Structure formats: structure tokens, C-alpha cells
Chains A and B, each alone.
Chain A
């Protein structure tokens, strides 16, 4: 099956700094990618839809100025958590769809200290 790769797998950053997470579709092109967030013992929550060459669409309650999404090519979307705070600590997961099947990255564990 298709592969979606996320980098890094985990990151620890200081409060107030920014962190960039990359999501790549390795063997297919994805005009649309999705970003999710998952807190401990909770389900995945859709944060935003990343569209190649245009602005991302954010779900209600997600701050677009805090979670910057860039989808500059058909194989790469990036999520930047700006001015991170401890409450942003979470598991961030991206996905891309190919032929009715969503392929997920392995996730990025963000810890803000």
C-alpha cells in the first residue's frame, strides 16, 4: 500500500518556540492531506484540511494563526505549531487519501516543556 511518512516521530521543545512537522506521501501525489491531533486516551480530532497550492481549511476551534499549514507540493504538507505551550503537547497525525483509502503517518509526539 501507499506510504505516508511523518517527521519527526517525537520532539521536545521549550515553551514559546515553534515546531515544524512534515508529512510526506512517498509514492503517490496527494492534493489534499489532513492533520489530526490526539490527546492521551482520546480519539483523533480533525484539525485541518491541507490543500496543495491553496489555503488550508481549519475545523472550528482550531486557531489558524497558531497552527500554520503549508502544502507547497503534491507530496509534502507541513504543520507548524507556533509559540508552543504545554497545552499543545499532543500526538499529531497526518493522512492522505488514495483511491478511497486514507493512509496515515506514524504520528509526531510533541512535548512542550
Chain B
């Protein structure tokens, strides 16, 4: 499976935008880019996913580079409840969406 690289941790102030980067230079044409987040002692929660075009939903936006070798998860206004570990994961449809989690980025949001 193609690998992703994320910073170990990031910090943001409450109500400010947060840009979480992810590098995936070995991405293949059929890999989807998924973002999940995990709060302590909980199962992961879906955030957003995309293939080539930028995506928006109620939680976040996903900006995908034109060459698809990197992407950025954008939280438009961070809240304290957004403090979590954010995972950027590549997955192919024929894998049934089994997800290989890396270490993710631990986001700290300060008031």
C-alpha cells in the first residue's frame, strides 16, 4: 500500500483555521485519499475523502494537489472538540476499504 507522511503534531488556536498536510508521493491512480480522526478512547470518525478534485463537507475541506502527491485537510474554524489524532490514509476500492493507519497528526486546540 502507498504510504502517507504527516507531521506528528500541530497546534492551533480556537476559532482559527487549521491546515493539516499529508504527503503521499507514491499514490496510484486508483487510490482514494481518506481522512479520519480519533478522539481518545473512541473509534475513528470519518472526516472526508476524495480522489482528484477538492471536496467540501460540513466538517472540513480537502484540497488535493494537482499531481495528487499531497493533500491538505482544512478545518475552517477549529474548536476544542476538534482536538484529536487526524489520519490521512490511501485506500483502493478493490481492497474493500481496509484502512492502513499511519501515526497521524495529533492536533491540539488551545482556547
Contact = CB atoms under 8 A, between A and B. Distances in A.
Would you call the interface of chain B mostly helix, strand, loop, or mixed?
Answer: loop
A89 interface: no
Interface in B34-85: 34, 36, 38, 41-46, 49
Contacts, number: 56
Would you call the interface of chain A mostly helix, strand, loop, or mixed?
Answer: strand
A100 B97 contact: yes
B96 A49 contact: yes
Contact of B101 (A4, A43, A100, A107): A43
Q: Place the interface of chain A in its size category.
A: 20 to 34
Given A43-B104, A49-B96, A105 B46 contact: no
B99 A34 contact: yes
A3 to B, nearest CB: 11
Contacts of B45: 104
Contact of B43 (A49, A97, A105): A105
A104 B43 contact: yes
A43 B46 contact: no
Contact of A95 (B42, B43, B102, B103): B43
Interface string A24-59: 000000001010100000011110010000000000
Nearest to B43: A104
Interface of A: 1, 4, 6, 32, 34, 36, 43-46, 49, 91, 93, 95, 97, 100-107, 109
29 contacts: A4-B43, A6-B43, A34-B96, A34-B98, A36-B101, A43-B87, A44-B44, A44-B101, A45-B101, A46-B98, A46-B99, A46-B101, A91-B41, A93-B43, A93-B44, A95-B43, A97-B96, A100-B49, A100-B93, A101-B46, A102-B36, A102-B44, A102-B46, A102-B99, A103-B46, A104-B44, A106-B43, A107-B42, A107-B43
